[in-house]
Structure 1
């Protein structure tokens, strides 16, 4: 029982800490990545849960190439807590490549940003690429290298020669790093690449992507990573979430109070269990007028003994012997009534 209570308090504390980290609303998805063929468009639904259950949210966007269209600019939470809106990503007027943008959700106290990655490939591709950023490098300190192993696949090129571009951008569309090389590919080839991130690079989200070109056909692959001092798993400390800090402090105080109370209560149970395990009572010394009181005390002590045994504070044999003694005393006392 003790373990269940401690677990419940711990779960409550953790849920308070993380669920309220977004303060007034929760969003799904937290990032958008879409791959289309040139000329295609696609709709993506963004779902929002308003944790306050009231108020308005203001939706806006920015993107390189102006490829984002939003169907609703204002969400009003009057009778519903769960609402959604659609973003349309349109490649009609864009050349094959990788484009970035951001969706902003503003409740006038906090702005949540959703990064958007829009990959546009040519209708036909001769090569393709694949890479993974190691999990240890999803958050990189400025001044370090981004290390990536890139695989290039020859899908149906007869020459086997591909022009490969390696590019790092921020979500304003600014190019941080760009490098290209020609690669001879039989079936596939793996390239180990290392890209230096400047020491003055601002903290935030960035995108690394690969463009593989041949004979006018373009294939894409991309991944988001972050630049910062460390991964922040908690809320940012600012004036907009003072309520969160108060709740966290209160939860901490309640946990401390629980452990202090539990310590003294368990000590009382142990002391009483030990007392009745060792004490030998002489029934003949109890006066007739005190018999009812002694019976009441023994019944109470028996309950404490049961509680001590259920919590595992005393062994079974000690519990059974002590309970037997108390029952014998109760029977003798009741005969004197």
Structure 2
């Protein structure tokens, strides 16, 4: 049938009739196997449960994806579940975004909070060697400056006590409660990384590889290189940024060995600190050029408690919160670069030494 050319004067009914005839003609020329019906009493499955027709054409050709290293590690420890494997199913092997919101992560967070509450209720005389449940053990050894504010030293640093004591009078207690507090808003995926970090060390007995491929000094330097061009030249905002980062570095160096380590990490810290003091060591000399994003994140979540022990006024607290929030958001956007994708598993000698320490 030749295709007709229609004009503006062609009747609509004639045009529709022709199109319908054209469609029917083309239908007769093609075969649609879906319109065929099976014969009466046809059985799709035989007595053995096998199909009685060829289903190969209905099978899709799929390639098996490689298993994520986190799933492999969980399977090796016989701790993997379907939710965990489904979460990491399509994630690239070089990415390590912790599992947040699932049952295991919630349990880990609940256990961490319960352990922290139990430690607080048990008193203030727990030594770092006997406390494996929390990173907040004691303030830095001596006074340090953060945004121009001096922090008081702890009352008994050698015993690992917290600085100062609880107010003895209602007046002092009210003054303590009325001190300005800093409330930091942290991205959810960084919170999840804290949970994963806690689980890797306290449950899986793994360690962050040291020296870190991207230590604290490198993280802060690259943040300053990115943020300073956004500040007016020779302005107070630029000076405040540099002062805050310098104070944060001082905090990190002084606080790491006191409040940022789990018990299982302390043996590693003692070994690496001996290398800092060695005259033959020409490279890493302090925590800031050895430890990286994982321990920096622990410091950031500890800042509210540490700042509460200072005499900072509300204006200083607001400035500090603004700078730390900007830094935390930048860190959250670049987490794939500054956090390790895999923790290392120490040998049996280290585990035994850590238990007996």
Which entry has the higher C-alpha Rg, 1 or 2?
A: 1
The higher relative CO (CA closer than 8 Å, separation ≥ 6) is in 2
Q: TM-score, normalised by structure 2?
A: 0.24
Q: TM-score, normalised on structure 1? A: 0.25
Q: Name the structure where helix makes up a greater proportion of residues.
A: 2
